[in-house]
Amino acid sequence: MALKSLSASRGVNSRGVNSRGVSGRDRAERRVAIRMTAPSLVLMALVAAVPIGYALWLSLNQYSVRTAGLSRFVGLENYITALSGPHWWAAFGQTFLFAGLSVSLELVLGTAMALLLNLAFKGRALLRTVVLLPYAVVTVVSAITWETMFAPNLGLVTNVLSTLGLPGGDVVWLGEHGYAMAVIVLADVWKTTPFAALIILAGLQVISAETYEAAELDGASKWQAFVHITLPLLRPAIVLAAIFRTMDALRVFDLPFVLTRGANGTESMSMLAYTQLRENRLVGEGSALSILTFLTVMAVSVVYIRFAGGNIREVAKEEQ
Amino acid sequence: MDLIRPSSPLQEDTAPSKAVARTTALHGSSRRRPRTVVAVAAAAMAAGLLLSGCGGGAATPGAENAAAADPASAAGASGSINICGGKDASGIYKGTAEAFTKANGKVTAQYTEIGATTDEARTQAVQRLEGKSTECDIFLTDVIWTSEFASQGWLLDQTKLVEANRDRLIPSTVETAKYEDKYWASPFFTNAGLVYYQKDKVAKPETWQQLYAEAAAAPGNGFVYQGKQYEGLTVNFLEMLYSAGGEVLDSKGEVKIDSPETREVLDFMSQGLKDGSAERAVLTYNEDPARLAYESGNYGYQRNWPHVFRLLNATPLAGSFGVAPLPAWEGGKASGVLGGWNLAISAHSTNQAGAVAFIDFATNPDWQKHVAMDFSQAPVNEAAYSDAAVLAKMPFATELLASVKGAKPRPISPVYPQISQAIYKNVYAVLSGAASTEDAVKTMAEEITTAKASF
C-alpha cells in the first residue's frame, strides 16, 4: 500500500514517464489522478496531521496533575526538561543500539533467506508460507514466549544450556544489561527477518536470468555473480527493507516493555514517552517526548531517502 | 484505540487550530516529492503513539470541595447501582453484588469489568472519571489510587461513612483511603505480604537478618522475592525499609528517603544477592515466576501474597511449608506494606444512596467472613480472622492478621505512580549492580522531589 501511494503521488503514469517531461495528455491524466487521490489525502491529513498537531500543542503546555487539564503555555520548557535530563539520552542511545543491531542482522539474514526461497525446489511455496509465520505472531505474545524461554532455571533455553553444560545456562538473561539487550534483539530478529526477506525476495525476482547467463559466459564465478550482479541490483530492495525495519525498530515498545519493563538499560524512546504520558499523566512532557521520538524517526528516514532515494523509485516501479 | 474513546473535555476546549495549520504547512508544501510521502507515512505511524497524549480534563472541583456521602441515606436507597473494576478472578465482585441484591431487596447491584489487568482498569477508570461518565456508581480502587483520584475531585467524600463504620474496620486498612485528612473510600478486602518457609530446611523467620543468614547458609535455602523492575519491587523494598524504621514521605509529605535506613536496606539487599541469600534470578521475578521457582523445592523462603497458600498446597510442597508474617528488622518491629482494594463512590454517581447501601453490606462483619471463606481474600474486619469457619479455610489467618495490622500504606501522594517508579528503578539499579547505593539514594530522593513538584 505504501508502494502504491509512493508512485501515485509522484504522478508516475502507466508508461513510466516521469511527470517532469509532461505532455498535455499526461497533464490531464495527472488532474484525474489528483482528483482520485484527493479524498485519501484529506483522510490522511485528518488521521496523521491532526493528532500530530495536537500532540505538538500539548507538548508546549504544562499540565499539572493538580489542575487536571488546565494548561499553561510554557513554550519549549518541556523539551528542555526532556533534553537536559539523562532519561531521554539514555533511551535514545539504547534505542539506536537496538535498531542498529537488529536491523543489520535482519538484513543479512533476510537476504540469505530470500536467496534460499528464490531457489527452485520442491515445496518452495510451503516453505515461503512457513517462514512468514513468526511475522504473523502478535509481538506481545511472542515477547511473553521469549520471556518464558529465557526465564532463569525453568526456561527452555536456560534449561537446555545447563543440561548440555554449555555456557549461558546459569546466566540471568533478562537481569543483565548486555544479555537482556541480546534477548530483545533476538526476539525482534526472529519475528521480523521474514518481513525483510519478503521485500528482498521481491527484488530478487525481477533480476532476469539472462543477466546471470551473460555473466557466466564471461566466466564469472557464482560468488562474483553474487557480489557484482545480485547485490547491486538488490540494493533498492534492501534499502527499502532497511527503511521499514529501522523506522519500526526506532519505535520499539512492546519487546522491552514485556521482557524487562525497561530495566537493565533497555528502555526505549517510546517506552519513556508512554511512562510519562500514561502512568505519570505528565501530558506536556510525555507529548514532548513523543514529538522527539517522532522527529528522530523522521530524521532517520529522511536521511535514508536522501541517501538512496533514486533506488526506491526503481523499486516502486518494479513492484507495480 | 484512542481515536474512539469518548472525547475528553480537553479536546473540545483547546483543539489547536494553529498547530494543525502549522503541521499541514510542514507536509503540504512538498507533496510531490517522494520523501514527503515517506515522511507522511512516518507521521501516520507515529500518530498512534502521539495520540496517547490526550489526557487531562476540564477544570474539576478538586478534593477540597467534593460532595460527601451520607451514611443515613442507605436506609432509603432503591434503584440499581453499577460497580466497576478489573477482572473478577476470584469471583468476589460478582459474588458480592449478587449477595447484596438478594439481601437488600430494594437496590440491585451489578458488576462491570472494565479492564483485564490492574493497569488497564486504572486507565479505564480514569477515562470514565475524567469524562464525568455516570456509568459506574462505585469504582474498585487499588489502595494506591486513592490520593490521585481524590485530588482530582472524582470521588465522593466518605469520611462520615468511614467514621460510622470505623469499629468494624482494621485501622491500617482504613488509612489506605485517607488523603488530606479525609477518607475517600471504604476498604473492601486487604492484602499483606507473607513469608512462606520450608519447615524441614529453615526456621520460621523472626528478623530479616536471620532470614538472609539462613538463606545463605546452604544451597537450597535461598530466598525468592519480587525483584523485577515494577511496582512489586517497590513493595518488597518498602517492607524492609518500614521495618528498619525508614520512610519515604513523613506525615507532612516531606521527602525522607535520603536516610541511613534506606542505605542500610539497599546495602543489605544487594549484599544478599552477592552472598547467595537470593539468586540473581529474582531480578526477573514478579509474583508468579517467584512462586513457580519456589515450587521447584530448591529454596527455603519465599515472600509473596496470601493467595499463594492455596496454590502451594496443590504442589508436592503441601504440608512441608509454614506461613509467617513478614519479619522485623533486628531490634525493631515488623512492618509490611498494605495491598488490597477499596470501594470508592464516583462523584458523578446518580445513585449515591444505593452505593452507600452496597458499601454498608460489603464491609459488614458477616459478609467479611464470606470474603475469606468463599473468595480467599483478606477481610478488613478483625473478628473474621478468628472465626472458626474462616480458620478452617484459611489456617494462616492469624499470621495474615498480624501482617495486616502491622502494615503501613505506601507513600500517600497524588503522584504515587512517579514516586513508585523512582523507588523501583533506583532500587533495581543497586540490586543489578548498575548504580552504587549512594548514587541511587541521591537520585531517588531527587526524582521523588521532582515528582512531588509536578503536582
Query: Which ipTM score applies to this complex?
Result: 0.77
State pLDDT tens for residues A262-294: 999 899 999 999 988 888 878 899 999 999 999
**CB contacts, 8 Å: B27 with chain A:** 45, 49
- Cβ-count burial B71-87 (b if 16+ within 10 Å, e if not): beebeebeeebbbbbbe
Mean pLDDT of A122-131: 86
Cα–Cα separations (whole angstroms), residue B348 to B61, B72, B154, B204, B361:
12, 19, 8, 49, 21
Low-confidence ranges of chain B (pLDDT < 70): 1-65
Quote the pLDDT of residue A85: 86
Quote the pLDDT of residue B202: 96
State pLDDT tens for residues A205-219: 988 888 888 888 888
Residue A80 has pLDDT above 90, yes or no: yes
Please give the grid coordinates belonging to residue B432.
543489578
- pTM for this structure? 0.80
Cβ of B319 under 8 Å from any chain A Cβ? no
Q: Scanning every residue of chain A, which has its alpha carbon at the shortest distance from the alpha carbon of B63? A: A66
Cβ of B219 under 8 Å from any chain A Cβ? no
* A317 or B40, greater pLDDT: A317
What is the Cα–Cα distance from B427 to A53, expressed in whole angstroms? 38
Interface of A with B in 92-151 (CB under 8 A): 151
Q: Scanning every residue of chain B, which has its alpha carbon at the shortest distance from the alpha carbon of A148? A: B289
Interface of B with A in 29-68 (CB under 8 A): 31-35, 37-47, 49-60, 62
What is the Cα–Cα distance from A108 to A103, expressed in whole angstroms? 9
Quote the pLDDT of residue B20: 36
In degrees to the nearest 10, what's the CA dihedral of B189, B190, B194, B196? 10
Which pLDDT band holds residue A313 (cuts at 50, 70, 90)?
Answer: low
Quote the pLDDT of residue B228: 93
B58, B62, B296 member nearest A153 (Cβ): B296
Would the CB atoms of A71 and B14 count as touching at under 8 Å?
Answer: yes
Quote the pLDDT of residue B290: 93
Q: What share of chain A is helix, strand, coil (3-state, %, to 5)?
A: 75, 0, 20
What is the Cα–Cα distance from A212 to A78, expressed in whole angstroms? 57
Quote the pLDDT of residue B238: 97
CA distance A309 to chain B (A): 8
pLDDT above 90 covers a percentage of chain A that reads 44
Which pLDDT band holds residue A189 (cuts at 50, 70, 90)?
Answer: very high
Cβ atoms of residues B112 and B83 within 8 Å? yes
**CB contacts, 8 Å: A55 with chain B:** 50-51, 53
Partners of B165 in beta bridges: none
Mean pLDDT of chain A: 85
Which pLDDT band holds residue A171 (cuts at 50, 70, 90)?
Answer: confident
Quote the pLDDT of residue A315: 52
Q: Scanning every residue of chain A, which has its alpha carbon at the shortest distance from the alpha carbon of B230? A: A261
Quote the pLDDT of residue B383: 95
Cβ of B413 under 8 Å from any chain A Cβ? no
DSSP structure string for B222-240: -EE---SSSHHHHHHHHHH
B22, B229, B279 member nearest A53 (Cβ): B22
Residue A8 has pLDDT above 50, yes or no: no
Interface of A with B in 16-45 (CB under 8 A): 19, 41, 44-45
Cβ atoms of residues B323 and B193 within 8 Å? no
Residue A254 has pLDDT above 50, yes or no: yes
CA distance B240 to chain A (A): 22
Cβ of A53 under 8 Å from any chain B Cβ? yes
Which pLDDT band holds residue A309 (cuts at 50, 70, 90)?
Answer: low
